[in-house]
Amino acid sequence: MTDVLTPVLTDNWDQDRAWTLAAYERQGGYASLDKAFAMTPDDVIAAVKESGLRGRGGAGFPTGMKWGFIPQDNPKPKYLVVNADESEPGTCKDIPLMLATPHTLVEGVIVSSYAIRANRAFIYVRGEVLHVVRRLQKAVEEAYAAGHLGTNIHGSGYDLDLVVHAGAGAYICGEETALLEGLEGRRGQPRLRPPFPAVAGLYASPTVINNVESIASVPSIIDRGAAWFAGMGTEKSQGYGIFSLSGHVTTPGQFEAPLGITLRELIELAGGIREGHELKFWTPGGSSTPLLTPEHLDVPLDFEAVGAAGSMLGTRALQIFDETTCVVRAVLRWTEFYKHESCGKCTPCREGTWWLVQTLARLEKGQGSEADLDLLLDQCDNILGRSFCALGDGATSPISSSIKYFRDEYLAHLTHGGCPFDPAASTVFSPTSSPVGARA
Amino acid sequence: MTEHVGPGPVRPHFTENDRPLPPEAWAELREIAARYPEPRSGLLPMLHLVQSVEGRVTPEGIEACAEILDISAADVNGVATFYTMYKRKPVGDYHVGVCTNTLCAVMGGDLIFERLKSHLGVGNDETTPVEEGRASITLEHVECNAACDYAPVMMVNWEFMDNQTPESAVQVVDDLRNGREVHSTRGPRLCTWREAERVLAGFPDGLADEGPAAGPASLAGLRIARERGWTAPEPDGGPQAVEQPATKEGAVDEADTSRAASETLVQETQGDVDPAEEKQK
């Protein structure tokens, strides 16, 4: 029986100066390099396929299969790009990983680049995390000095250059083709697919784009074996993942567990919902994944079960809200976010998110009428599946799911002539709440 | 979201600059472009460097980037106006960003932002007046900064200030304005906004070793695992890998998003299928 929590990526976050090469190597870091170099690149791809690793950035596409799409007969250079633009509201796993153990990511980059036969790799990190950028820069510098990067790595004959690239503030750049636009020095707007990045990505060359956690998981698979990784998790959602609990729990934080753990188990580990309060609604994987309620506490948090429950596993960003939180206020704020972050390329998203805010803001003030709920759902229907990329789809998730579960609360705003909630009651420093913010 | 609360006229997007970009800046801009297989990839970090030198994106900085990359100033301008970290008005010595995305807002971010606006006497995206002997502060509300387990979160020059209250936030800005030493809760002593922008341009400042590896929330699960003796299994202990989907269709059946599924099917059929039709599935 596998333990409830299975620290792998987080296992050395508590080490002294964990971010340094010395600390990382003391813990056995960079051991996967020589193992990988002893294998053919195709065998490395096969091992990652066998492990069952599925993309940890939200979509859950099999990582090894993505690598297999790279046409090796294409004479152009191949590129690996790490998506470190962690910006999905509620998602906060990649940033602490890169802050604590940037070398785990660098090691993963080297093995993954070797597998797809790339000699150039990039880490596209969002610009709004200065100290993470510092730690990445230092890790790359140390890895070069130690011969883990550069020419003829570990005498293998394999060469790799790695550049840390800071973005400049755009949620849309988490979308992989918008990220490539940013990396090419352009406005971050998504590209039409096909062609897919695997065929024509960065500089129209074959490119793999993977999330930080996906790439960081690769060394453990090579080092300990595909079967070891696949032995954790559920049948079709294998391995471990970092689950991020935030909001109204006693001890928010990062919990690394096999996929399939439930929110009930995680909330218990986080010390329960803050004292004197109860769970009202939650997101399983960021604000773009439809809201769930207490009735979903026992849904296994894997791709299949969360999908069957009407939502998505996403990035395992579990934002927990108790009964003091107004769901209309929460949804309005997320909708304002999507409106702000809409890149403007396509009409359904650019105009649609604007109208969603107009309609929601009126409801939140207690104005409008019940028919506005149908108007909202109609607007969602005109965005979902009709926008150019998943940003527009995501914008509809909180709205349609909140109307599904909390229709009465929308109506209460109309009968009450405004929001019936006291916003101060939901804060961590509310006199009626336990001091969540003062946790040790 | 640009409300104008403070006194005086709204500034134009670009104001005249009173000094040219120094030669060292030109050299460093070229250095950034040379890091990439294609120089234009350097544009985002180059604009960070322009902000470091100029205190904002200036017409002179745009011209320099355009000339080095052999693209038009309009191209550079288009990029500079797309990304929210690029500022066309002068930024203060410190940029203070309060997260008001849903989770932080609910946990107290809205009240923190309100308190700072009234305490500093500025609105969103505005800067306190330049005063002799006092540092200036630009206040802005920001979107989710990937630190939700430390909510409510405030960023100073894009360094984490975790678990804030209105009182602690006021203390931070007062200390910054009065030149007192302030440390990030998970990083070094706060530098100026211009110094921060230089690091983002790819010129390290030697402060990577400051601060902890992880804050308490990052270690919440690990601490429990240590207490209870929970670990990942030993290799060779688990069951064998189950069969993986052998085809793209098999994989997308299992993938999490209908969008990924539809796009892969489009790819498979070489564009025979209308993507709009596929998305309806």
Asked if A350 and A344 count as a contact pair (C-beta separation under 8 A), the reply is yes
Pairing of strands A118-125, A317-322: unpaired
Q: Which residue has the tokens 């550049």?
A: A163
Tokens of A404: 């599904």
Distance, in Å, from the CA atom of B122 to the CA atom of B117, rounded to the nearest integer, reads 5
Chain A residue numbers with beta carbons less than 8 Å from the beta carbon of B207 are 131, 134
Among A95, A222, A172, residue whose Cα is nearest residue A341: A172
Q: Fold identical between B2-82 and B94-200?
A: no
User: For residue A431, what pLDDT is reported?
Assistant: 74
Instruction: Provide the ipTM.
Output: 0.96
What chain A holds in terms of domains, given with CATH numbers, is 21-231 (3.40.50.11540), 234-322 (3.10.20.600), 327-426 (1.20.1440.230)
For A373, B19, B109, the CA distances from A177, given in Å and listed in that order, are 34, 38, 32
For B180-201, write each residue's pLDDT tens digit: 999 999 999 999 999 999 999 9
- Residue pLDDT, tens place only, B131-160: 999 999 999 999 999 999 999 999 999 999
Per DSSP, the three-state class of A110 is helix
Residue B20, pLDDT score: 81
Contact A337 B102 (CB under 8 A): yes
Find which of B79, B244, B279 to mutate to test the A interface (most A CBs within 10 Å of its CB): B244
Class of domain B94-200: alpha beta
* DSSP type of residue A291: P
pLDDT, residue A1, reads 79
Phi, psi for A20 (deg, rounded to 5): -85, 155
Domain chopping of chain B, boundaries: 2-82, 94-200
Q: Angle of helix B59-69 relative to helix B73-80, nearest 10 degrees?
A: 120
**For residue A125, which of B146, B213, B70 has the smallest C-alpha distance?**
B146
Count residue pairs from A and B with Cβ separation < 8 A.
395
**Are the C-beta atoms of residues A4 and A269 closer than 8 Å to each other?**
yes
Contact (CB, 8 A) for A321 and A330? yes
- pLDDT for position A190: 98
* Residue A378 CB coordination number (10 Å): 10
Q: With a cut of 70, say whether residue B34 has pLDDT above it.
A: yes
* Confidence grade of residue B277 (pLDDT, cut at 50, 70, 90): very low
The conformation of residue A62, written as its DSSP 8-state character, comes to B
Q: Bridge partners of B189?
A: B183
Inter-chain CB proximity A438 and B163 less than 8 Å: yes
In whole angstroms, give the CA distance from residue B153 to residue B165: 9
Q: What is the pLDDT of residues B217-258, one digit of tens each?
A: 999 999 999 999 999 999 975 444 445 555 666 555 555 555
Interface list for A 391-420 with B (CB within 8 A): 393
Predicted pLDDT of residue A166: 98
Instruction: Quote the minimal CA–CA distance from A197 to chain B in Å.
Output: 11
pLDDT in tens, chain A (440 residues): 799 999 999 999 999 999 999 999 999 999 999 999 999 999 999 999 999 999 999 999 999 999 999 999 999 999 999 999 999 999 999 999 999 999 999 999 999 999 999 999 999 999 999 999 999 999 999 999 999 999 999 999 999 999 999 999 999 999 999 999 999 999 999 999 999 999 999 999 999 999 999 999 999 999 999 999 999 999 999 999 999 999 999 999 999 999 999 999 999 999 999 999 999 999 999 999 999 999 999 999 999 999 999 999 999 999 999 999 999 999 999 999 999 999 999 999 999 999 999 999 999 999 999 999 999 999 999 999 999 999 999 999 999 999 999 999 999 999 999 999 999 999 999 876 544 444 43
**pLDDT (tens digit, 9 = 90+) per residue, B93-111?**
999 999 999 999 999 999 9
Measured distance CA(A276)–CA(A434) in Å, rounded: 8
Going by pLDDT thresholds of 50, 70 and 90, the confidence category of residue B267 is: very low
Determine the Cα angle at A407 with ends A404 and A408, to 5°: 145
Residues of chain B contacting A253 with CB distance shorter than 8 Å: 149, 216-221
Cβ distance A170 to B271 less than 8 Å, yes or no, reads no
- Whether the CB-CB separation of A86 and A212 falls below 8 Å is answered with yes
CB contact under 8 A, A14 and B144: no
- Omega within 30 of 0 (cis) for the link into A197: no
Q: What are residue A317's DSSP bridge partners? A: A244
Q: Is some CB atom of chain A closer than 8 A to the CB atom of B268?
A: no
Q: What is the DSSP letter of A203?
A: G
Which of the four CATH numbers 1.10.287, 1.10.10, 3.30.470, 1.10.357 does domain B2-82 have?
Answer: 1.10.10
Q: Is B73 exposed, middle or buried (0-12, 13-18, 19+ CB in 10 A)?
A: middle
From the list B160, B200, B216, the residue facing A133 with the nearest CB is B200
pLDDT value of residue B245: 59
How far apart CA A276 and CA A253 sit, in angstroms, is: 20
Against a cut of 0.90, is the pTM above it? yes
- Report the alpha-carbon distance of residue A64 to residue A218 in Å, rounded: 10
Of A13, A128, A170, the CB nearest to B145: A128
CB-nearest to B221 from A5, A99, A164 is: A5
